[in-house]
Amino acid sequence: MAKRERVIRMSVELPLWRALTAYRVLTMIYAVLLFVSEYRHFERPWVGIAFLSVLAVWTLATLPRVANAASCTKRFLGVDLTIALTGILITPLADADARTVNGPTLPTIWAAGSVLAFAIKGGWRWAAFASSLVAAANLVERGAPTRDTLHNVLLVWVASVAIGYVVEVARASEATLARALEIEAATRERERLARDIHDSVLQVLAMVQRRGTALGGEAAELGRMAGEQEVALRTLVSSGLVPTTRASEDPALGALVRTVDDDEDGRPDPEGAELDLRVLLAPHAGSRVSLAEPGAPVLLPPPAARELAAAVSAALDNVHRHAGESAQAWILVEDWGDEVIVTVRDDGPGIPAGRLAQAEGEGRLGVALSIRGRLRDLGGTAELISVPGQGTEVELKVPRGKAKA
């Protein structure tokens, strides 16, 4: 089956969680090595051994907990912070001189990891809460505030609050981006469906109106009704109220609209297959349409080839409708390797200045959606040149590197 366009977003928090995981492991190892190097200076080393054993087991066992925001629950954060606070408060029990010599606490800088987890999980308010508790525990452990202690707790408090604020801003930006991507995807889907409606239903209704008016009698009434329905449907399309459900997902639309990802027979395209654009354009050639094409196949991904062929069909339909039944049209296909160019030219009366903008305002979106919209979605361009009395030329360019498969 042909690949559909997908938008894959990676959370901006993921690198922060990975960094926190590494930080917790490294600081746990640092705390153990620091204790081992100072082991003989502790009055009750068994207190430090017991705490650091719990700390090591807890850190390694809970690595999956700090992998993402979903697994980092409030209960985990509470237990994690409790372990950090306990390690700080029992440091004087392991070494009574820790207060006087201003030595490191048992968990050392591992405690900052608990605060950072609060910051990444809940933002700056959670960070301020956790860092305040750690600061209070450090002040209690020291007995009296010192310059170094105040410096350290203030550093942790400011850093954690700043990280929490950055996380909140990143989340808000990510949510805004996700919403913008959803709106863009819905808009493109709506335009794609509107193009299909324009190329099928609206064209049929317009033809019924013209034929009915020409035949007169009861057919004229039928043509008038078809004209009213055409106006109503055009209003619906131009107002943006066309549903975004694909025809392949809604059986009610299946008879009217065919998704561009499927073949003419409704079967999915083979993976990696390409279509020859010349084959798709060949049916247009006739007594009033001349087709000039390269001698070699013009290969494009199936969706791109069919969308480009549909844009050519829309351009020819405009020729037949507005240039008259006797107008002559020419199709020129050029393959330049890095891009494919299809030019549709006619010898009709041309388009008066401002007519396209007026037609778009009236809901007649043949050029805006069926031609320019298709080329825009393919990463290409559609240029229309018209001089009153000298015909119209539509140049469609599709870069191969940007043609979406």
Which amino acid, residue 199?
D
Strand 329-335 with 339-346, pairing: antiparallel
Backbone angle region of 261, left / alpha / beta, with phi > 0 → left and psi within -120 to 50 → alpha: alpha
The dihedral of CA 107, 110, 112, 116: what is its sign?
Answer: negative
Report the phi/psi class of residue 337: left, alpha or beta, with left for phi > 0 and alpha for psi in -120 to 50: left
Give dist(CA 276, CA 378) in Å, integer. 17
Q: What pLDDT shows up at residue 195?
A: 61
DSSP per-residue letters across 111-135: HHHHHHHHHHHH-HHHHHHHHHHHH
pLDDT at site 24: 94
Question: pLDDT tens string for the chain (405 positions)?
Answer: 333 333 334 466 788 899 999 999 999 999 999 999 888 888 888 999 999 999 999 999 999 999 888 889 999 999 999 999 999 999 888 876 654 456 788 999 999 999 999 999 999 999 999 999 999 998 888 877 777 777 778 888 888 889 889 888 888 888 888 788 777 777 676 666 666 655 556 566 666 777 777 777 777 777 777 766 666 665 555 555 444 444 334 443 343 334 334 444 445 555 568 889 999 998 888 888 899 999 889 999 988 998 898 889 888 888 877 777 778 899 999 999 899 999 999 988 887 766 665 655 554 544 555 688 888 888 899 888 887 878 888 999 999 876 554
Containing 398, the helix (H) or strand (E) segment is: strand 392-399
**Whether this model's pTM surpasses 0.85:** no
170: tokens are 């990143």
Instruction: Please name the residues in contact with 307: beta carbons below 8 A apart, sequence gap of 6 or more.
Output: 260, 374, 377, 378
Per-residue confidence (pLDDT) for residue 102, from 0 to 100: 62
Of 394, 391, 374, nearest to 188 by C-alpha is: 374
Burial of residue 399 (number of CB atoms within 10 Å: 0-12, 13-18, 19+):
middle
What is the DSSP annotation of 136-188? HHHHHHHSS--HHHHHHHHHHHHHHHHHHHHHHHHHHHHHHHHHHHHHHHHHH
CB 192 within 8 A of CB 243: no
Q: Are strands 329-335 and 289-292 parallel, antiparallel or unpaired?
A: parallel
* Distance of alpha carbon 212 from alpha carbon 234, whole angstroms: 20
Euclidean distance between CA atoms 213 and 221, whole angstroms: 8
